[in-house]
Amino acid sequence: MDDYNAYFNEICSLISMRSAVRVIFMVVPFIFVITTYFVLKTWKYATNSKEELSKYFFYFVTIICTIAILISVFGNPFSGTAGAYQSLSYSAKNTGSVANQDWQNAMSWVRNNTSPESLFLHWWDYGYLVQTLGNRTTVLDGWFSCKSRLAKCNELGKK
């Protein structure tokens, strides 16, 4: 029963974190692991159950959970609702490149008008674009900060 309490506690935590959009990237692997664990544990309870009624109940819960997982990933064939896979596929096919013409022009200017030793400090979202398109070092990127870059920025601040 402790497994179900832990599962319920995690669901409540996820519901309370729903406003933190970027947290979902860290939580998704955990959701897959805990959901798989829940389904397998329920199946194990069903196979080990001595009572016929509880055995069928746990089999029923396992099958319903498996169907719910499949519908959430692949969509509902009865209503035609798209699942996560279809939504991501559609977004990937119909979303333009992040490195659009404006970014190409800006990073061309950066490559042509700044020295290769230049260090860029900006909002972290743009770090990889400056690194890959502009061929320049950044203090922050999508993986946050690097100690050597911060040390270099500190040295520049002392000059």
Same domain? For 75 and 109 the reply is no
pTM, 2 dp: 0.42
Write down which residue in 55, 77, 94 finishes a domain. 94
Chunked into runs of 10 residues, the chain (159 residues) has average pLDDT values of 71 67 72 85 86 87 86 79 74 74 90 90 78 84 59 65
Q: Residue 111: its pLDDT value, please?
A: 92
Same domain as 142, residue 108: yes
- The answer to whether residues 23 and 80 belong to one domain is yes
Residues 19 and 90 in one domain: yes
Tell which of 94, 127, 143 closes a domain: 94
Question: Where is the domain boundary, 69, 94, 119?
Answer: 94
Q: Backbone dihedral region of 91: left (phi > 0), alpha (psi from -120 to 50 degrees) or beta?
A: alpha
Q: What is the largest CA-CA distance in the chain?
A: 79
d(CA 9, CA 108): 51
What distance in Å separates the CA atoms of residue 131 and residue 138, rounded to the nearest whole number? Answer: 7
Tokens linked to 108: 């061309």
